[in-house]
Amino acid sequence: MKETSSTDPIGQNVIKLISNVCFSVFVFSVLVFTVIAITYQPPDPWLESSKALTRAFTEVENATFKTDTSVLTTGEDLVAVSPAAAPLAALPITEAVVEKSEEKLKNSTPPVSSCGEAVNCSDPRVLVVIEKFNLKVFKSIVFLDYQTPVNGSKPNECDVAWRFRNKKEKSWRKYRDFRRFRIGVKEDCSYVVAGAGRWHSGINARRQRPKLNSTLSTGGPKNPNPPPVRDDEINDTIPTVGSEVAFSKGRYLYYSRGGDYCKGMNHFLWSFLCGLGEAQFLNRTFVMDLGMCLSAQYNNPSGMDEEGKDFRYYFDFEHLKEEASIVEEGEFLRDWRKWDKTRKKKIPVRKVASYKITPMQLKKDKNTIIWRQFDAPEPENYWYRVCEGPVAKYVQRPWHAVWKSKRLMNIVSEISGRMDWDFDAVHVVRGAKAQNKELWPHLDNDTSPAALFEKLKGMVQPWRNLYIATNEPFYNYFDKLRSQYKVHLLDDYKELWGNTSEWYNETKLLNGGKPVEFDGYMRVAVDTEVLYRAKTRVETFYNLTKDCKDGINTC
């Protein structure tokens, strides 16, 4: 019988086998890829930044002074106001302006009749020599306007007041100083400044306080506690909605309180500006809660969050009103309830329960009130979630609308002015960081009095005014430096927020007659702003120690 051979050669069987294996691998790969495509969501850079922001905003730092996170960067730090955009009254007085005034006086004003007479402080020539003197001596400030000089306590003394701003502050906000000058007369009968007093020494030129009625309207006795005089350039009044017609024609965006309450100031501002930015995007008035809660992280000895704070303690409410359409929450809710009762139809409201409903979806909404409610658990109830992801392309946070409180900045100017705007500063971070040897092994030693003394000798000239911004609680800790420098600490100026100060009286009025504590955040804010105005600034984690600012291996 003849032997039959196989119908398929071996080579063909091998090729079939390889083809089947490859096809199986291909099908399996497609299946795996399909499963991944369905179940896997690639990292969203917006979501990743959200998580980073959440960590940064909600972590409580043990350190009580941290320049980059403890004190907010606000509008006046970010965008400089151009001279063209500044109010006309705020345009600076320069050397060229003074020279023009001087030339004009030479051509139009008769010479002094007698060099031996007492100085006539109202003579325009007196003001010119004072302006020239100030421009030469105070290089770090911009002079905005002067009042006419008045007589001092002696025949050759003149007191004069002026308004100014610091060159390192980018806003056009104005501050006030008044000083006493000794005026000399040259042989040619021209005037010269022979000497100048210190900050606020020209008491005869200080603004006049309004006279109050000595008796009550009923003819009663004098009021033993007349209301204090407020800074005439601060307007903290709360804007009102107005009539029913005005209310019903308005369009409002109302954020109910969420998880941002009692968080750090950076978290608050990030969220607040999200809401304000959405209101501007929707062309609506933002309903604003002036009540704030200060996080326990700001030097609170009790370790508890503090409610009952007021936005106006920390931020410039007057500037905010000028830059954005806002209404105070209490005023708004009273009017809403009032007009709802008198109308046949309720005021139309759209309640928005989720931040996932975007501002773009609400753009054409015609309801009088859009009410965003944040009732979900944290972090789903943070205001800033509204502005995450693609929304950031449409809603811009109006940073320019928020400035630091002028009341706090008045204290900063007072401290800087008392040092004649001529001082250096060192920022000394200690507190809990100095005790944490695991993260900051050298910080305690590098900020010790002896180490500071040696370090500063090569950086700051002897007997300069040296301001120390620090969270070190012991006042005498820096006594060793007093043998080399004129040392200044924040607590040297306690009277600026004490119970006889302008700050105390004005914040007390805001608080319904109850005194306001000069709290930890205010201390850090003032400390930091004075530090920024120094001519030479020595930083802890740049100049004093090799430790990293945020701990080991974070440089």
Coil, helix or strand at residue 419: coil
Q: Are strands 326-328 and 285-288 parallel, antiparallel or unpaired?
A: parallel
Please state, in angstroms and as integers, the Cα–Cα distance from residue 308 to each residue in 291, 292, 305, 316, 525, following that order: 6, 6, 10, 18, 19
Give the residue extent of every domain in the chain.
10-40, 88-205, 237-401, 406-544
CB burial class (10 A; 0-12, 13-18, 19+) of residue 215? Answer: exposed
Tokens of 192: 């010269």
Q: Are strands 369-372 and 252-255 parallel, antiparallel or unpaired?
A: parallel
> To the nearest whole percent, how much of the chain has pLDDT over 70?
78
Q: Is the pLDDT of residue 476 over 90?
A: yes
Tokens of 323: 């830059």
Q: How much is the pLDDT for 405?
A: 95
Mean pLDDT calculated for residue range 155-184: 92
- How many other CB atoms sit within 10 Å of the CB of residue 52? 10
What stretches of 290-432 adopt beta strand conformation (E)?
Answer: 291-294, 306-310, 326-328, 349-352, 369-372, 424-428
What is the pTM for the complete model shown?
0.80
In this structure, of 110-124, 379-393, 417-431, 436-450, the range with the lowest mean pLDDT score is 110-124
Q: What is the CA radius of gyration of the chain?
A: 33
Q: How much is the pLDDT for 31?
A: 65
Q: Which of 501, 263, 254, 523 has its CA nearest to residue 412? A: 523
- How many other CB atoms sit within 10 Å of the CB of residue 93? 18
Q: What angle do the packed helices 502-510 and 406-418 form, to 10 degrees?
A: 170
288-319 burial, b at 16+ Cβ within 10 Å, e below that, comes to bbbebbbbbbbbbeeeebbeebbbbbbbbbbb
Q: What is the mean pLDDT of the chain?
A: 83
Contacts with 253 (C-beta within 8 Å, 6 or more apart), sequence order: 275, 278, 279, 282, 284, 285, 286, 287, 369, 370, 372
Please state, in angstroms and as integers, the Cα–Cα distance from residue 249 to each residue in 67, 252, 327, following that order: 45, 10, 14
In this structure, of 208-217, 289-298, 325-334, 447-456, the range with the lowest mean pLDDT score is 208-217
Locate tokens 């005194």: which residue?
A: 515
What CA–CA distance (Å, rounded) separates 177 from 20? 91
Q: For residue 83, what pLDDT band results from cuts at 50, 70 and 90?
A: low
Residue predicted with more confidence, 340 or 19: 340
Q: Which of 171, 379, 170, 376 has its CA nearest to residue 267? A: 379
End-to-end CA distance of the chain: 90
Q: How much is the pLDDT for 15?
A: 67
Write out pLDDT tens, residues 86-136: 565 567 899 999 888 888 888 776 555 556 667 899 999 999 999 999 999
- How many other CB atoms sit within 10 Å of the CB of residue 116? 7
Q: For residue 55, what pLDDT band results from cuts at 50, 70 and 90?
A: very low
Q: Are strands 349-352 and 191-196 parallel, antiparallel or unpaired?
A: unpaired
Phi, psi angle pair for 91, to nearest 5°: -65, 140
Phi, psi angle pair for 267, to nearest 5°: -60, -45
What CA–CA distance (Å, rounded) separates 380 from 259? 8
Write out pLDDT tens, residues 170-216: 788 899 999 999 999 888 888 999 999 999 999 999 876 544 343 33
Mean pLDDT calculated for residue range 212-226: 40
Check residue 443 and give left, alpha or beta (phi > 0: left; psi -120 to 50: alpha).
alpha
Please state, in angstroms and as integers, the Cα–Cα distance from residue 95 to each residue in 102, 104, 132, 133, 172, following that order: 10, 14, 7, 10, 20
